[in-house]
Each structure stands twice: as structure tokens, then as C-alpha cells.
Amino acid sequence: MSIPFDRHIESFLEMMQVERGASPNTLDAYGRDLADFAEFLDGRGQSPLNAEGRSVAAYIARQAEIGMAARTQARRLSCLKQFYGFAFAERLRPDDPTANIDAPRLGRPLPKYLRKEEVTALLDAARALEGRDGILMTALMETLYATGLRVSELVSLPLSAVARDPNVLVVRGKGSKERMVPLSDPARAALIAWKAERETMVPKSRPSRWLFPSSGRLGHLTRSGFAKMLARAAVLAGLDPFKVSPHVLRHSFASHLLAGGADLRSVQEMLGHADIATTEIYTHLIDDEASRLVRAHHPLAAKKT
């Protein structure tokens, strides 16, 4: 049974629109969340303005009971906290019933990555392209998979990064911090090939400081430009392009290194993570993969019929 929309909710939504510039989508989501909350309270003989703290807690608990995702629960609680902050500031009620209610813990999603054979298929597809496109795509993908650079770091590499025959790349990352990342032999060869091709396309009268120059505003290849190239390679490799992105290749680099026995601290330094806890998420990928292999291949893991 639906109930009339609470006038205090309407006042709150008007404030969000006028004072905080909330988008129509945000206002719509908040309106639906608060209407659902009001209907829940109606069954308890309460309204949003006179709801008790335990009723708010019961509402959030109910979201979990009906299988609502933790992120949705957290969003609904955030909405309620903002509503009651508004009600308290406007002196519509003397307290905030959400003050002692904590948001549900959000499980950190595991990064997506490609299997080694999928990466091989991508690289083979890039190498199979003829002409400048193939040389460029191969250089970009080999470098990304060999170094785990952020896509913004990759596309904005200066030409000076490969001024000599490169064994390592000096990368300027977040916070202008520099780090050295070793190159694999295939990546090194691909960059040398691209550097030679680049010299045929950049006129000496209009030199570019970028390793991957373009005629766009930035002067170098953009993130979206590389993402489109990667999607093309995915299609050629027979992979779902929606599951392949520059960041997925970065994740693949890290997970494959750790699976091969690399130590966590070295991977942290190559990725440019300030906190090793950020890098530790990749160990969960290795654990999940190991568990999958055991379930699939261990004789004692087979189900008895």
C-alpha cells in the first residue's frame, strides 16, 4: 500500500536541488529511497519526521534480509543521514536518529584480469595488424603488459623515456613521484620499432616531445584513443571487448607477476602504489585462481555420484 509523499521529504528534495545542485537522477533516487522508507515506517505507525533510531536500524537491517546489495544499503543510509541532517538543521526534530547507525561494510571488489592465454591472443592480434597501426598497437600493449603502467602514464610518456635503447622506463606517476620499471625484451623491441616508425610521421619542422604523439589538444594519444585501439584488438583476438580495458591489462600484469612468484613489495613499486595494502588485493586473485584449479582438477574435489 502506498502512502502520500511526506511534505518534509519534498522540502528536503527541494533543498538538495536548489542549494546543492543535485542532478535529476540523484533527486529521483533519493525520492524513491525516502518513499520506500516512509512506507516501511507507516507499517510501524510512524512517519519520517518522528521515526525512532531503532526503526531506522530495522529498515537498514531489512534491506540486508531481502538481499539488497551492500552498496545499495549504504546509499540508502546516506540518503537518510542527509535527510535527518536537514531535519535537525531546520529544527524539525531535536535529534538525528541515524547518528549511531554505521553503514554496512563494503567488500572491496576484486580487480578483473585476463588469463595469460587471453593476453597472448591480444598481443598476437596487435602484431598481425599491418602498417603503422600494428606497430603502434603492439608497442602500447607490450609496454602496458610489461610494466603495469597506469593508462595516463603510458599515453603521456615523453620521447626522452626511450632516448637510448631502453632496459627500464623512468615513469612520473601520481604526486609527480618517479619510479623505474624494467622492460621485457618483447616490450623493448616493440618500443624500438615504434620509435623508428614515429620518425617517419613526425616532421622535423614540428617536433613533438611525446612518445605517442597526436594532433589533438594534448599533443599525445588520449586514454580513450588507446581504449578504442584495445577494443579493436580484443575483437580481432576473439575476446569480449567489454571485458578488456587498459586497466584490466594493468591488473593482469600484477596478478601474473605474483602468480609467477614475484614478491609483493616489488610489484607495489612497479605499480606505483603508495600503500602496499592496495597491492595486496591481487593476492586474493591468486588465492581465488588456486581454489578454482583445485576444485576443477583435484581428484578428491570431484563430487561423488
Catalytic residues: 150, 174, 247, 250, 273, 282
Which among 134, 226, 149, 137 is positioned nearest to 183, based on CA atoms?
149
Look at the block and give the residue holding cell 622492460: 183
* CB count in 10 Å sphere of residue 69: 12
Alpha helices in the chain (DSSP H): 7-18, 24-42, 53-65, 70-89, 116-128, 131-147, 151-155, 185-199, 223-236, 246-259, 264-271, 276-297
Radius of gyration of the chain from its Cα atoms, rounded to whole angstroms: 27
d(CA 47, CA 24): 25
Which among 266, 263, 222 is positioned nearest to 246, based on CA atoms?
222
Residues 6+ apart with CB under 8 A from 162: 169, 191, 192, 195, 211
d(CA 216, CA 219): 5
